[in-house]
């Protein structure tokens, strides 16, 4: 990659870290105009920046208002690249399955869940997103109404892993054959196994592969 392209990506990371939700719109557009792909912008710009935000927050170098600004900047840039991410990955098939997504009760993190939704859409899945801080009852009602093939739960806090467990158990009791997948930073394959989920994905790309695999087994 030439120097000017990597400089633009570094600038995008920096704008995430500083939470500059206005300038990032301009620079993300500049990145596209300079032939950087939506994938490169996401992985080597936005996610790289957000990883540093997480480390600085953990180490007490920045505080919640700064993290909120970073999240706002992330979403502003995503608004620009989302249609391209969907187009870049769009398969010929559409409607290959329906996935209902939500972040569990007590948890308002949604950037990762949204990214999972975007990648699933890009790969031909119909996605119904029921948002954040989602109670077990809301998941159950939505599954009743939407009849998805797969239900996906996201949790980003160790404290909300318990909500995930409760909701998975309730969904399993009410809908015996429903496929349930889980993900989020503190979640692991062993936790997924422990709570009776059908699958775990580490990131959005793995979530797409997992959904395809689980649907193929079902059909
Ligand atoms: Co919060 N936060 N946060 N935060 N936040 C974390 C998660 C934390 C790790 C930061 C840290 O300490 N280093 C820490 C959790 C510690 C822990 O529990 N172990 C933390 C904390 C403590 C908190 C608060 C409690 C802080 C406070 O109030 N004192 C608070 C909780 C609020 C609540 O939910 N009740 C809080 C609040 C916030 C903001 C609102 C400011 C903001 C969220 C904004 C938003 O989402 N709209 C925020 C942010 C931005 C973060 C960090 C910095 C970044 C998260 C993110 O968006 N990453 C985060 C640090 C970190 O994770 N390193 C942190 C980018 C995103 C693309 O990645 O979300 O991991 P991620 O998603 C990935 C995978 O996890 C996976 O695929 C995604 C895409 O590849 N995945 C799935 C996610 N869901 C999936 C579902 C699937 C499959 C895969 O299937 C269904």
90 part of a folded domain: no
93 part of a folded domain: no
Q: What is the tens place of the pLDDT at every residue in 8-34?
A: 999 999 999 999 999 999 999 999 999
Domain final residue, candidates 85, 113, 145: 85
Domain final residue, candidates 62, 85, 108: 85
Strands 150-154 and 98-103: parallel
b vs e for 117-153, b when ≥16 Cβ sit within 10 Å of the residue's Cβ? bbbbbbbbbbbbbbebbbbbeebbebbeeeebbbbbb
Q: Are 208 and 119 in contact (CB under 8 A)?
A: yes
Residues 35 and 109 reside in one and the same domain = no
Q: What is the tens place of the pLDDT at every residue in 136-189?
A: 999 999 999 999 999 999 999 999 999 999 999 999 999 988 999 999 999 999
Residues 185 and 106 reside in one and the same domain = yes
- Return the residue whose CA atom lies nearest to atom 21 of ligand 1: 157
Domain final residue, candidates 63, 85, 107: 85
Residues 80 and 107 reside in one and the same domain = no
Residue with tokens 């710009």: 45
Pocket test for ligand 1, best of 112, 182, 201, 214 (most atoms within 8 A of CB): 112
Q: Closest ligand 1 atom, CA of 101?
A: 91
What count of other Cβ atoms lies within 10 Å of the Cβ of residue 30? Answer: 13
Q: Looking at the 3D structure of the chain, how many domains does it have?
A: 2
Is residue 91 over pLDDT 60? no
- Return the residue whose CA atom lies nearest to atom 64 of ligand 1: 54
55 part of a folded domain: yes
91 part of a folded domain: no
Residues 67 and 103 reside in one and the same domain = no
- Cβ of 85 closer than 6 Å to ligand 1, yes or no, is no
To the nearest whole number, what is the mean pLDDT of the chain?
A: 95
**What residue numbers bound the domain in which 182 lies?**
98-218
Residues 121 and 202 reside in one and the same domain = yes
CA distance 209 to 158: 25
Residues 124 and 214 reside in one and the same domain = yes
Q: Which of 130, 125, 122, 164 is nearest to 146 (CA)?
A: 130
- Return the residue whose CA atom lies nearest to atom 67 of ligand 1: 112
184 part of a folded domain: yes
Per DSSP, which regions of 41-166 are E strands?
A: 98-103, 126-129, 150-154
Specify whether the backbone of 106 is left (phi greater than 0), alpha (psi in -120 to 50) or beta: left
- Cβ of 8 closer than 6 Å to ligand 1, yes or no, is no
**Domain containing residue 138: CATH number:** 3.40.50.280
- pTM of the shown model: 0.95
Residues 59 and 128 reside in one and the same domain = no
92 part of a folded domain: no
């Amino acid at each position: 990659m030439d120097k000017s392209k990597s400089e633009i990506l570094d600038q995008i990371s920096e704008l995430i870290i500083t939470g500059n939700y206005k300038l990032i719109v301009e620079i993300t557009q500049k990145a596209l105009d300079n032939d950087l792909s939506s994938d490169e912008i996401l992985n080597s710009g936005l996610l790289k920046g957000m990883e540093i935000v997480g480390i600085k927050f953990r180490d007490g170098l920045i505080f919640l208002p700064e993290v909120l600004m970073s999240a706002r900047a992330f979403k502003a840039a995503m608004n620009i690249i989302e249609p391209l991410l969907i187009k870049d990955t769009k398969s010929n098939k559409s409607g290959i399955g329906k996935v209902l997504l939500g972040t569990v009760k007590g948890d308002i993190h949604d950037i990762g869940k949204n990214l999972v939704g975007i990648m699933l859409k890009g790969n031909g899945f119909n996605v119904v997103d029921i948002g954040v801080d989602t109670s077990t009852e809301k998941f159950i009602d939505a599954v009743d109404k939407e009849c998805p093939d797969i239900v996906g739960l996201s949790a980003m806090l160790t404290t909300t892993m318990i909500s995930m467990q409760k909701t998975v158990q309730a969904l399993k009791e009410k809908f015996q054959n429903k496929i349930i997948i889980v993900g989020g930073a503190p979640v692991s394959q062993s936790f997924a196994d422990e709570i009776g989920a059908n699958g775990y994905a580490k990131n959005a790309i793995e979530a797409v592969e997992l959904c395809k695999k689980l649907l193929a087994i079902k059909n």
